[in-house]
Structure 1
Amino acid sequence: MNLESPQTTVKKSPQEVFDFLSDVKNFEKLMPENISKFEVLSDDTFLFALKGMPEIVLKKKETIPPNQIVLGAAGGKIDFSLVGNITEIESDKSAVQLVFNGDFNPMMAMMIKGPISKFIETLSTNIPSAI
Structure 2
Amino acid sequence: MNLEGRKVIVNKSSEQLFQMLKNPEDYKHLMPDSLTSFEHREDGFKFGLKGMPEVALKIAELVEGQKVVLKSASSSLDFSLTGNISPVNENQTEVQLLFDGNFNPFIKMMVEKPLQNFLNALTDKLEQL
Q: TM-score range by the shorter chain?
A: over 0.9
1:1-131, aligned counterparts within 5 Å? 1-40=1-40, 42-130=41-129
Runs of at least 4 residues off by over 4 Å: none
Q: Spell out, residue by residue over 1:14-57, the C-alpha distance to the aligned partner (whole angstroms, 9 max, x if none).
A: 111101111111100000011111011x2111100111111100
Residue 54 of structure 2 aligns with an amino acid whose one-letter code is: E
Describe the shift of the 1:76–1:51 C-alpha distance in structure 2 as closer, same or farther (beyond 3 A): farther
How far has the Cα of 1:73 moved from its partner?
Answer: 0.4
- RMSD between aligned alpha carbons? 1.0
Q: Structure 2 CA distance, aligned partners of 1:12 and 1:113?
A: 30
User: What percent of counterpart residues are identical?
Assistant: 38
Q: Which blocks of at least 5 consecutive residues in structure 2 are unaligned?
A: none
Q: Which blocks of at least 5 consecutive residues in structure 1 are unaligned?
A: none
Q: Structure 1 CA distance, aligned partners of 2:96 and 2:46?
A: 22
TM-score, structure 1 length as denominator? 0.94
TM-score, structure 2 length as denominator? 0.96
Q: Structure 2 CA distance, aligned partners of 1:76 and 1:30?
A: 25
